[in-house]
Chain A
Amino acid sequence: MSHRILFSVAAAVLATAAGCVSEPEIIDTRDTTTNRVRSMEKVSSTDFIEAAEYGINSILSDEIFSEYLAEYKAAGHGNSRPLLMISAVQNRTTAHVDMPLLTSRISSALLKSRKVRVTSVLAADSAQRDTASKELRNLEDDEDFDQQSVLQRGTLKSPDLTLSGAIIEQRNTSGRTTELTYFFDMRLTNSRTGEVVWEDHIEIGRRQKRPLLGL
C-alpha cells in the first residue's frame, strides 16, 4: 500500500515538473531592448545588432566616405562602385566571437545601398569566403568540361576597400558591482593608398550587482 502511495506522489511530482517546462517562444531578433538576454560573459546577439546598426548609419551618412566615392567615380570609374573586401575584425574579448555577425550585416547593408560592391573571393573569415570562384578557374585541364565554358584567368577583381576593426572588452569591478563594456571599432580603408576613408566606434555596456548573499 505504501509503495502505491509513494508511486502516486512520485508520478504527481513528475507531472508537475513536466508542466513547468515552458515551450520555446519566438522572439523578435530585431528588438534590442530589455526583453533580450545580455550576458555578462560574452558579446550578445543584441550587441552585434546594435553595433552593426550604428556602423551602417554612420557609413551611409558620412561625408568623408561620400567624398571618397565621388573621387572614385572621378578617377575614371564612371558609375562603377568600389569593391569591398571583408577583412579581419580582431577579437580582444575573453570569449569566442563569430565576426560575420557584425561584418555580414554591414557589408549586406552597404551592398543594398548601392554604395559599394562586395567580393567573396577574398575574406578574412572563411564563412564569408566563397572558394568556388577560384576553383572554377582550375578546370582548364579537366577533360570532362567543355573548355570554352571554363572561366578565363585574370578576370577576378582586386578589392578597392577593406572593412576591418576590433572588438575590445573592458571589465571593471568595484565591490559587488561589475561593469562590462564592449568597444566596437570599425573602419573602411582604401586598399590602393592605405588611407582610412571611414572610421567609427560604439561602446556598449552593462552593469550587474551581485547579491549580498548567495551565488
Chain B
Amino acid sequence: MKILTVLTMATLLLTVGCQNTVNTVENSEKQAQVTTIQDTRVITDRFLRDRLKIIRVNVAENSDGFLQVQVEALNDRVGYLGQFWSWLTDANPYRVNYKFSWFDDAGMAVATDLSIWKQVIVKPGETINFRSVAPTAKCRDFTLSLQEAE
C-alpha cells in the first residue's frame, strides 16, 4: 500500500513538472463586428478533433469583394494528465498540417498557389487562427483540411 502511495505521488510530481501551457488575457467587451458562419465538419480523426477544438469560423469581405476566412482553434490538451499523455506519446510540441481549398461560384475547385499544405506549431492552451483569402472575387466557398503532423 505504501509503495502504491509513493508511486502515485511520484507520478503526480512528474506530471506537475510536465505542465507547460499557455495562459491568455483579453478584453472582455469585444469591439469587433464579427460575422460567424455555420460550418460543416467531416471528422476522420477523433483525436485531432478532441485536441484541436474548432471554436468558430469568421468571414469578412474586403473592399474588392474578396472573401477572407479565419478559423479559430484551441489546443485543448491542457491539465496534468493531458500534458503527461503528450509527454508519453512524444506529442509536444503539437504540429498540425493544414490546407485551404477554394471553390468558384460554380462549385469548381480553383487551382491556386494558395492551396498548399503548411505546418503550424500550437502550444497547449494556445488559440490559433488559420487564415486565407479567396484567390478570386468569384470564390465564395472553401474547405480547411487539418491533419496531425507525423
Question: Are A66 and B149 within 8 A (Cβ)?
Answer: no
Chain A interface mostly:
helix
Report the number of A-B residue pairs with Cβ-Cβ less than 8 Å: 70
Complex CA distance for A50 and B113, rounded to whole angstroms: 9
Give the segment of B18-26, B38-46, B126-134 that binds chain A.
B126-134
Chain B interface mostly:
loop
Q: Is B64 an interface residue (CB 8 A)?
A: yes
Could you say which residues of chain B place their CB within 8 Å of the CB of A112? 112, 135-136
Give the segment of B6-14, B48-56, B72-80, B115-123 that binds chain A.
B115-123
Known contacts A30-B115, A50-B118, A105-B113; A114/B137 CB under 8 A:
yes
Which residues in window 46-91 of B have CB below 8 A to A?
A: 62-64, 66, 68
Q: Which residue of the partner chain, among A56, A66, A67, contacts B114 with CB atoms under 8 Å? A: A56
Could you say which residues of chain A place their CB within 8 Å of the CB of B115? 30
Least CB separation from B147: chain A residue? A33
Q: Is A109 an interface residue (CB 8 A)?
A: yes
Q: Which residue of the partner chain, among B62, B112, B119, contacts A109 with CB atoms under 8 Å? A: B112
Interface string of A15-56 (1 = CB under 8 A from B): 000000000000010111110000000000000011011001
Could you say which residues of chain A place their CB within 8 Å of the CB of B116? 30-32, 49-50, 53
Could you say which residues of chain B place their CB within 8 Å of the CB of A108? 113
Q: Is A70 an interface residue (CB 8 A)?
A: yes
Nearest Cβ distance between residue B91 and chain A, in whole angstroms?
14
Q: Is A80 an interface residue (CB 8 A)?
A: no
Question: Are B133 and A60 within 8 A (Cβ)?
Answer: yes
Nearest Cβ distance between residue A203 and chain B, in whole angstroms?
15
Complex CA distance for A49 and B117, rounded to whole angstroms: 10
Complex CA distance for A60 and B95, rounded to whole angstroms: 27
Known contacts A34-B150, A66-B63, A66-B64; A60/B134 CB under 8 A:
yes
Q: Which residue of the partner chain, among A28, A52, A61, contacts B62 with CB atoms under 8 Å? A: A61
Complex CA distance for A114 and B135, rounded to whole angstroms: 9
Question: Are B68 and A61 within 8 A (Cβ)?
Answer: yes
Complex CA distance for A28 and B116, rounded to whole angstroms: 10
Question: Are B118 and A28 within 8 A (Cβ)?
Answer: no
- A residues near B (Cβ < 8 Å) are 28, 30-34, 49-50, 52-53, 56-57, 60-61, 63, 66-67, 69-70, 105, 108-109, 112-115
- Besides A34-B150, A69-B64, A114-B136, 19 other CB < 8 A contacts? A30-B115, A30-B116, A30-B117, A33-B118, A33-B119, A33-B149, A49-B113, A50-B118, A53-B116, A57-B133, A60-B62, A60-B66, A61-B62, A66-B64, A109-B112, A109-B114, A109-B135, A112-B112, A113-B136
